[in-house]
Amino acid sequence: MDKKQLLIPTIKEELIKYLNILFPEQCADLNDSERIIFYKSGQRSVVKHLIEKLKQQEE
């Protein structure tokens, strides 16, 4: 399926609040390995994507 054809499911603000608690916006811990830093960055990237989709949904 082409990305342009994807139907975006309804995103609830409660989901964003929950994910923000689990995966908060924060600076990398320099004690973490590079692999862990990238992993946590990827988690946060998904949250940011969903926040953007929620904003679009509310327009």
Torsion 18-20-10-46 (CA) sign? negative
For position 48, what pLDDT does the model report?
Answer: 97
pLDDT mean values, one per 10 residues, the chain (59 residues): 78 97 95 96 97 94
**pTM assigned to the model:** 0.83
Longest Cα–Cα distance of the chain, Å, equals 42
